[in-house]
Chain A
């Protein structure tokens, strides 16, 4: 246990940007004590509490489920609560705001573009017809659930957008998390919203913008595999173009 109670120190370079001052972004170095179980987030909190109250970053659940604390850690998009200082010591580590998003202040980025894209995919169940609550739940077998379950695990942490080179080049791209969510509803046996969502899916900024780099799936902390969702939908989009999907869906296939 001695190794675990030992306190060491590590240097952290953090990108600083204050929109009120108008000064260009710069790096600031902090020296932070840490133990075996100190996450990068706890390191940032140490700075905020004890060294510099101006350092700004988002966090909340500190257990990798709320999706607030994504940052670039040594250039890789990661959740700061889910990454540990021990893995970088004795070298320095560098923390930047998530790539491809405008910076509001320090590590806090502007998420508006993503939230608009989330809206655009109609991320809610579109049933064939409304079923009264008194009739109870829909039946859905574990096998049917498997078709979409993985894609329902997204915590909207935006790491995949920071990883996606296409989103960096073409910010109009709907992007990995939103397209994975679109697929989550399309693949749900209770949903018939394919047509309502097909404009977004089939458009140039839909699945066809993806060049299958796959880095989105690599950085995803929840193994959602947006790359798979998107490329599966290139097939669906093609079938749709040739009218095949409609034929398949009438006999219950295509989910």
Chain B
């Protein structure tokens, strides 16, 4: 087995992984960094983020505003110390990206422009047209090339973590092109592996978003926190789930039902006028908008497309010039993938799974496993609570990516080399298990289990939930895990570029992450943020559930669910409300 030794392994080449790698290189050029990613970094799913990234720069805005919007947006399940750190460091990191070349959209005078986003009090979202994630990712990737300390391992699939003496000692990876198994021995490991949206059938996520890092950490004793909070983005193309950015509404787009009626006014997001208004109607938060869609669908107020029911996202009144300048990506996507030109026709949209608010429990990116750090969507540092506000995640990856890099670098400098014997033996054992999966030709097809998992999660752990439906999903996932253990039959037993093998390993992670989601949801007997129940637990219950859920891996059985207090510093929980009279907004 090939062994590569380095100081820090960064798993994942998206925004958080790249930012972490750069932070390590800048904090100590002598440290060696292995940036290990299952795709070439610029393919990472950060690339598909559209709308923008929040940072307070307007005179009529304040850090307190951003803090309060984030905490109330998260239905008070945010750790307020983490939120405070976050809002204080957003602008610095966004400026850093600008200094590295990121083409943020500008005002005529050359200053950064900002747009409205859902649940935000004033315009706070920095944007690069509607390709913000694309530009952030390419800027970080291209900048990372400057640093000789960062050694990239593109298309190396990380399949296992190696722990020894109670701390992380490295990762085991498959070099995709050859199928060779490689051990990276390191003092610290940073997971920047993204979310797990692919455990659901209809989602906005790229095919690679399979919860690998969450699964890796979970199996090795780190807890998954707040996994029941899965965000449905309200405006996605039916069928494919392709995202129509919240920026559409930030620029003034409206949502109408089959009768042309702006239905959000019926769901505590109105009144309609004065419009546009911050934190009202189409500028409400994602959980509330997706829930409103569900009700309209129940009432028969949606219309049918061949790929499911939908409502209209109408941009026509913005005019062609603004649509093409501010929203070029979704305009093209709507034209190509939905056959609709947003300049002349409304876009049919419906909610689809978009984001995992929960993740690997991490205190300022430090997980409970010494030497293991996590940043970005795979982590739960506590800033999103029960519902993430749009444009907070693109800043999260850079703010906490940097923190993870600096902390991992500091840790790597202090920790002593350990004996390699146990590490190598574990790596050999893990490699044998991976090769056993590769050789298996008895059992079911990987796609069959994957699809059944996606359907079970949509049906039982969707926008609205109830005990019976969640129980069905729980039983189904347990059954799928048993069938997975019984064997996935591969057609392809070759070593080189065997994506069927990799997909099978990913499915193993996804099933365990899905199980953590379903059990965390079942046990949260209240409604909060993106977790809303139709049974007897329709309201928020701060007395019992102003707590983070924690899922602990128990092997073949279901996760053990426990709870942990939420850190509250200055914002006591109160009723979370949107809409209301408000003042009219001036669009920028």
Contact = CB atoms under 8 A, between A and B. Distances in A.
Interface in B488-529: 490-492, 494-500
Contact of B111 (A82, A130, A133, A139): A139
Interface in A105-164: 105-106, 108, 110-111, 115, 118-119, 122-125, 127, 130-131, 133, 136-142, 144-145, 148-149, 152-153, 155-156
B337 to A, nearest CB: 7
A124 B207 contact: no
A56 interface: yes
Interface residues of B, number: 61
Q: How many of chain A's residues touch chain B, expressed as a range?
A: 35 or more
A152 B135 contact: yes
Interface stretch (A60-68, A231-239, A246-254): A60-68
B494 A18 contact: yes
| B contact patch SS | loop
A61 B96 contact: no
A68 B45 CA distance: 11
B106 A142 contact: yes
Contacts of B106: 140-142, 145
B169 interface: no
B333 A64 contact: yes
A142 B177 contact: no
Contact of B491 (A21, A53, A108, A119): A53
Contact of A37 (B40, B43, B239, B500): B239
B42 A156 contact: yes
Given A5-B306, A20-B494, A37-B239, A141 B103 contact: no
B570 interface: no
A66 B43 CA distance: 5
A169 interface: no
Nearest to B126: A137
B568 interface: no
Contacts of A18: 494, 496
Contacts of B142: 118, 123-124, 181
A60 B43 contact: yes
Interface in B416-452: 445-447
Nearest to A41: B207
Given A61-B48, A66-B43, A66-B48, A53 B500 contact: yes
B445 A53 contact: yes
Contacts of A19: 496
B239 A133 contact: no
B43 to A, nearest CB: 5
B459 interface: no
Given A66-B48, A137-B112, A141-B106, A56 B499 contact: yes
A97 B208 CA distance: 21
B110 A185 contact: no
A191 B143 CA distance: 13
B496 A1 contact: no
B492 A124 contact: no
B556 interface: no
Interface string A192-230: 000000000000000000000000000000000000000
B110 A140 contact: yes
B145 A104 contact: no
Nearest to B207: A60
A62 B206 contact: yes
A185 B45 CA distance: 24
B225 to A, nearest CB: 27
Nearest to B48: A61
A61 B208 CA distance: 8
B95 A136 contact: yes
Given A67-B42, A108-B497, A124-B100, A139 B490 contact: no
A89 to B, nearest CB: 17
Interface string B326-344: 0001001100110100000
A198 B442 CA distance: 58
B92 A133 contact: yes
Nearest to A51: B491
Contacts of B40: 111, 115, 156
Contact of A131 (B99, B207, B243, B447): B99
Given A54-B491, A133-B96, A119 B145 contact: yes
B447 A50 contact: yes
Contacts of A5: 306
B497 A56 contact: yes
B354 to A, nearest CB: 13
A144 B497 contact: no
Given A140-B106, A145-B103, A60 B208 contact: yes
Nearest to A82: B336
B299 interface: no
A92 interface: no
B334 to A, nearest CB: 11
Nearest to A152: B103
Contacts of A63: 48, 240, 242-243, 333, 337
A152 B447 contact: no
B239 to A, nearest CB: 7
A67 B100 CA distance: 22
B543 interface: no
Interface of A: 1, 4-5, 18-21, 35-37, 48-50, 52-54, 56-57, 59-68, 82, 104-106, 108, 110-111, 115, 118-119, 122-125, 127, 130-131, 133, 136-142, 144-145, 148-149, 152-153, 155-156, 181, 185, 188, 190-191
27 contacts: A20-B494, A37-B306, A48-B500, A49-B445, A49-B447, A53-B445, A53-B490, A53-B491, A60-B45, A60-B208, A61-B48, A61-B207, A63-B240, A63-B333, A66-B43, A66-B206, A105-B494, A105-B497, A115-B154, A124-B146, A125-B99, A140-B110, A141-B109, A142-B108, A145-B103, A152-B103, A153-B131
Given A140-B110, A152-B135, 14 more contacts: A18-B494, A35-B306, A37-B337, A54-B494, A54-B500, A56-B497, A61-B43, A62-B242, A64-B333, A66-B47, A104-B496, A124-B143, A142-B106, A156-B42
Q: Sorted from nearest, which 8 A-B pairs have the closest CB atoms?
A: A53-B491, A49-B447, A139-B110, A125-B101, A105-B497, A54-B492, A123-B142, A53-B500
